[in-house]
Amino acid sequence: MTLDELLQAEIPRQPVADLAYTDILRLDQLHPLISGNKAFKLSGHLAAAEHQPELALLSFGGPFSNHLHALAAAGKLLKRRTIGVVRGYADVALTPTLMDCRDWGMELVFADKQSYARRYEPDYQQQLASRYQALVIPEGGGGEAGEVGCERLARHCLGYQQVWLAAGSGTTAQGLIKALRGSNTEVVAVNVVADQGELRRRWQQQLAADNWRLLENYHLGGFAKCPAELRQLIRHYDQLQLPLDPVYTAKLVWAYRQQYQSDPALQQQQRVLLIHSGGLQGRRGYPL
C-alpha cells in the first residue's frame, strides 16, 4: 500500500460520548504503523520524493517526535531509507519513540544543541543532503509541501459548521484553512504553544481567507506542559475509549469543552468536528 492509498481510505469518525453534536475524526486510527496529521504532512513531501527513489528521507526531531516516528514508519512501509537527526546525545538511553524508529530501520544521527539549532540553515541542510544522499524534510514535516498534504483533510470536514484542531507550527491548520476557503466550514485552531502572538501575526499576513479563528489561551502553561487538570481530562476520556495525547489533542479537547460550556450555540444546532491528530505514541513520555 502506498501512503496515497492509505490517505484516501475512509477514516474512522465517532461522536464524542459526552458532548452533543460533536464528532471526532480519528486520524490516530489511520493505520497501525503510521497515523496522525504527520502522515498527511509527509504525504506532501513524499510526492516530491517519488521522482528520486534513490535518495533517503532525512528529517529532524526531538526524542519523542511524532514526526520522526511517522517518517520511520513511512520508510518501513515504502521501503525507503530514512535518517533521523535527533536533538540529543547518543549515550543517553533511547526513548520508546526512538526505539521504534530504529526498529523500523531509521538511521539515528544525534545532534548537539549547536548543530540542532542549524536545522533551518540551507548550508547545513545541503551538507546533510550530500553526506547521507538524502532529501531533507523540514522539522515537523512543515513548509509548503506539508501544507499541501494537509489539504486532503478537507473532504472529511464538509457538512460541519466548525472544525477544530490543535496547532503547533500551524501547518496542518493552514492547509485546511486554504482548502476550506469558500465552504461553509470555519476552522478553529487551538494554539498549544505560548508564542506571544507569533502564529496569529503570520496568519494575518499570509492567509487571505477569513474562515479561521485562533484560540491562544489554552496552552496550559506552554508547549508540552501537562498540569494535573489536563491529566485528569485524559483519564476521563480514557474511560470513554477516546485516548488523547498530552501535547496536542488533550489541549484541543480542553479548549473545546471550555468554549462549549460557555457558548450555548455550540450545544445546539451546530455540528462540530474535532480532529484527533494522533500523537498517542508520545504518551509513553508522560507518567499518566
Ligand X SMILES: *Cc1c(COP(=O)(O)O)cnc(C)c1O
Q: What are phi and psi of 87, to 5 degrees?
A: -70, 110
Distance CA 42, CA 50 (A): 12
SS3 92: coil
Q: How far is the CB of 264 from ligand X (least distance, A)?
A: 28
DSSP state of 16: -
Signed CA dihedral, 251, 253, 255, 257: sign only: negative
| Minimum separation from the CB atom of position 219 to ligand X (A) | 13
Alpha-carbon span 157 to 48, nearest angstrom: 26
Q: How far is the CB of 171 from ligand X (least distance, A)?
A: 4
- In the bound state with ligand X, the residue whose beta carbon lies nearer, of 88 and 278, is 278
User: Least distance in Å: CB of 35 to ligand X?
Assistant: 9
Q: Which is nearer to ligand X, 132 or 278 (CB)?
A: 278
Of 22 and 37, which CB lies nearer to ligand X in the complex structure? 37
Site residues for ligand X per CB under 6 A: 36-38, 66, 140, 166-173, 245, 248-249, 277-279
Beta strand extents in 33-158 (DSSP E only): 56-61, 82-87, 107-111, 134-136
CB of 176 to ligand X, least distance (A): 10
In the complex, minimum distance from the CB of residue 186 to ligand X, in angstroms, rounded to a whole number: 17
Q: Which residue is nearest to ligand X (CB)?
A: 279
Q: Residues 6 or more apart from 185 whose CB is under 8 A from it?
A: 157, 158, 159, 160, 161, 162, 163, 211
| Block residue for cell numbers 498517542 | 280
Burial class (CB in 10 A: 0-12, 13-18, 19+), 172: buried
If the CB atoms of residues 132 and 174 are measured against ligand X, the closer one turns out to be: 174
Number of residues in the chain: 288
Between 132 and 224, whose beta carbon lies closer to ligand X? Answer: 224
Nearest residue (CB) to ligand X, 63 versus 168: 168
The string of DSSP codes covering 190-244 is: EE-S--TTHHHHHHHHH-----EEEE-S-STTSTT---HHHHHHHHHHHHTT---
Nearer to ligand X, 66 or 97 (CB): 66
Q: State the nearest-atom distance from the C-beta of 66 to ligand X, in Å.
A: 3
